[in-house]
Amino acid sequence: MPRSTTRGETAFLDLRRDILSGSLLPGQRLQFSELSARYTTSVGALREALSRLAEQGLVISEPQQGFRVVPVSPDDLRDLTAARVEIETMALRRALAAGDLAWEARLVAAHHILYGTAQLSDEDERRVTEEWTAAHRRFHEVLLEACDIRRLREIAASLRDAAELYRRWSRYLRTEQDRDIAGEHEAMLRAALARDVERATALLTQHIEYTTNAVLTAGKLSADADGAGPEQSAETVGDGAGARADGRSERRARGSAAAGRPRRGSGATGGR
């Protein structure tokens, strides 16, 4: 593989990680000189990486101004959430009607992997691990996998990807300290296996809307929120948002995300 391609891939992965973790703020301008020093790479590699990130909707290119992290807004978040609820619950209804035993087995397996994967990084408890993110994505994919309309599944997946920045930003702002996300996934699993359509769709709706409500309540949706300019570190913003959480609630949140996950095998026993 050419050396330039390797550098571009590395820069892409590093930038993507820092955007999704909140180390680079929504709306923050991305200066090539600063990024070159931060990631010890060339302008060419950064340009390649930023172009790929623009295709994924994580950065935007502005004429005469360069790149910046995609800004997020209350209206966009509400619109995205409403679309996700409509599409994903529709797909879930069809999945519950068409799903067979093999689908149930895949769903239980996806939940088991999600249950056993550490959610938060050991180095930074505000940062969600890539392994958990992948397991979380897989669980939601399998949940809708039995839907018999392929395009509906694809739209649902696209909307979930678009919500990833908000989801990780919510974690970085510490707006979900007391959330029992493992319990939410177990409840959705049980309802799906039981083919309880109304409960399953209600739980999925609540699951999707939780992050939206948490982010909107925090009120920090860009690098300019509450006086935080592009020069201000994400750590400062995150600490301000999390000031209301004392050490006890932080320990409780870590327990919910790791040691406090539902008992092994509990998800597999629910349902039909």
pLDDT at 176: 65
Question: Rounded distance, CA 71 to CA 262, Å?
Answer: 36
Q: Tens of pLDDT along 86-107?
A: 999 999 999 999 999 999 999 9
The yes-or-no verdict on residue 145 having pLDDT over 50 is yes
**pLDDT interval class at 156 (50, 70, 90):** very high
Backbone torsion region of residue 195, taken as left when φ is above 0, otherwise alpha when ψ lies between -120 and 50, otherwise beta: left
Backbone torsion region of residue 227, taken as left when φ is above 0, otherwise alpha when ψ lies between -120 and 50, otherwise beta: left
pLDDT at 82: 97
Alpha helices in the chain (DSSP H): 3-21, 32-39, 43-55, 74-98, 101-115, 130-144, 150-162, 164-172, 181-193, 197-218, 234-241, 247-257
**pLDDT interval class at 70 (50, 70, 90):** confident
Q: Tens of pLDDT along 131-144?
A: 998 999 999 999 99
The yes-or-no verdict on residue 165 having pLDDT over 90 is no
Q: Tens of pLDDT along 198-233?
A: 999 999 999 999 988 888 887 766 554 443 433 333
**pLDDT interval class at 172 (50, 70, 90):** low
**pTM for the model:** 0.69
Question: Rounded distance, CA 142 to CA 24, Å?
Answer: 31
The yes-or-no verdict on residue 242 having pLDDT over 70 is no
**pLDDT interval class at 7 (50, 70, 90):** confident
pLDDT at 5: 55
Instruction: Give the count of beta carbons closer than 10 Å to the beta carbon of residue 65.
Output: 9
